[in-house]
């Protein structure tokens, strides 16, 4: 019988691959690979690298403080070289979320969860709101979710008014904005 492809060898299906021994080179390669695939903040990248280091240390042993020092040094190097930039990440993310109809509350929350500093969140949110207002974002969200004036049936619009208002509230929009969008015309 042939050995399965993918280098699993005698590993059970679904079992995780044994991690490599942590080293500065290993961490740098892991960081570069991650950054090729995903835009990330400093905080996100640190979490990924610390998780990799911890997993490796559990298997191979070693000094966690030393590994964390390597992570910090690598992050500083990547910052100097411009490969990670919280300002740029927050700007792109805020604009993208706003254009897709997200409220200021949701955008701020998502950026804070990614580890972006509060003053950067505030600045980038103001820039995104200058391009697309809160009313326009609520209208985009209502159109995407077919709420209020964007429902196909006028009778269903009246029957579902409270549900539509609640949906916009859950999306982070104020009651006054939700009421204006739900009770307004589709234009």
pLDDT in tens, 114-172: 999 999 999 999 999 999 999 999 999 999 999 999 988 878 888 999 999 999 999 99
Flag whether 110 is in a domain. Answer: yes
Banded pLDDT at 11 (limits 50, 70, 90)? low
User: How high is the pLDDT of residue 110?
Assistant: 95
What is the DSSP secondary structure assignment for residue 181, as one 8-state letter?
Answer: H
Flag whether 19 is in a domain. Answer: no
Q: Are residues 108 and 124 in the same domain?
A: yes
Flag whether 11 is in a domain. Answer: no
CB atoms within 10 A of CB 157: 17
Q: Are residues 28 and 76 in the same domain?
A: yes
Q: Are residues 29 and 76 in the same domain?
A: yes
Q: Are residues 34 and 75 in the same domain?
A: yes
Mean pLDDT of the 95-103 span: 95
Q: Are residues 123 and 158 in the same domain?
A: no
**pLDDT over 50 at 1, yes or no:** no
* CA angle, 124 then 127 then 130, to 5°: 150
User: How high is the pLDDT of residue 9?
Assistant: 57
Q: Are residues 54 and 100 in the same domain?
A: no
Residue 71 exposure: Cα atoms within 13 Å on the Cβ side: 20
pTM over 0.85: no
**pLDDT over 50 at 47, yes or no:** yes
User: How high is the pLDDT of residue 186?
Assistant: 75
3-state secondary structure 94-108: HHHHHHCCCCHHHHH
Q: Are residues 76 and 29 in the same domain?
A: yes
CA atoms of 171 and 109, how far apart (whole Å): 12
Residue 125 backbone dihedrals phi, psi, to 5 degrees: -65, -40
Flag whether 16 is in a domain. Answer: no
Tally of structural domains, the chain: 3
Q: Are residues 148 and 124 in the same domain?
A: no
Q: Which residue has the higher pLDDT, 9 or 148?
A: 148
Flag whether 7 is in a domain. Answer: no
Flag whether 3 is in a domain. Answer: no
User: How high is the pLDDT of residue 64?
Assistant: 94
Q: What is the CA radius of gyration of the chain?
A: 23
User: How high is the pLDDT of residue 40?
Assistant: 93
Flag whether 32 is in a domain. Answer: yes
Q: Are residues 31 and 73 in the same domain?
A: yes
User: How high is the pLDDT of residue 158?
Assistant: 86
Flag whether 4 is in a domain. Answer: no
User: How high is the pLDDT of residue 29?
Assistant: 96
Of the three residues 46, 65, 80, the one that is the final residue of a domain is 80
Candidate ranges 7-16, 89-98, 146-155; pick with highest mean pLDDT:
89-98
Of the three residues 80, 115, 144, the one that is the final residue of a domain is 80
Strand, helix or coil for residue 6: coil
Considering only CA atoms, which of 79, 58, 86 is closest in space to residue 50? 58
Q: Are residues 118 and 75 in the same domain?
A: no
Q: Which domain holds residue 55?
A: 24-80
Residues 106, 171: contact at Cβ < 8 Å?
yes
Q: Are residues 111 and 98 in the same domain?
A: yes
């Amino acid at each position: 019988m042939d050995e399965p492809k993918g280098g699993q060898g005698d590993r059970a299906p679904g079992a995780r691959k044994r991690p490599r021994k942590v080293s500065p080179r290993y961490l740098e390669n892991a960081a570069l690979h991650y950054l090729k695939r995903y835009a990330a903040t400093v905080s996100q990248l640190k979490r990924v690298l610390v998780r990799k280091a911890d997993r490796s240390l559990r298997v191979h042993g070693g000094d966690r403080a030393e590994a964390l020092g390597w992570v910090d040094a690598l992050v500083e190097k990547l910052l100097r070289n411009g490969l990670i930039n919280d300002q740029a990440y927050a700007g792109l993310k805020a604009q993208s979320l706003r254009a897709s109809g997200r409220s200021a509350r949701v955008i701020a929350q998502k950026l804070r969860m990614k580890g972006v500093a509060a003053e950067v969140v505030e600045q980038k949110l103001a820039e995104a709101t200058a391009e697309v207002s809160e009313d326009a974002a609520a209208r985009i969200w209502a159109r995407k979710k077919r709420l209020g004036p964007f429902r196909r049936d006028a009778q269903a619009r009246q029957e579902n008014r409270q549900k539509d208002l609640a949906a916009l509230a859950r999306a982070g929009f104020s009651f006054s904005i939700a009421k204006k969008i739900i009770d307004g015309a589709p234009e």
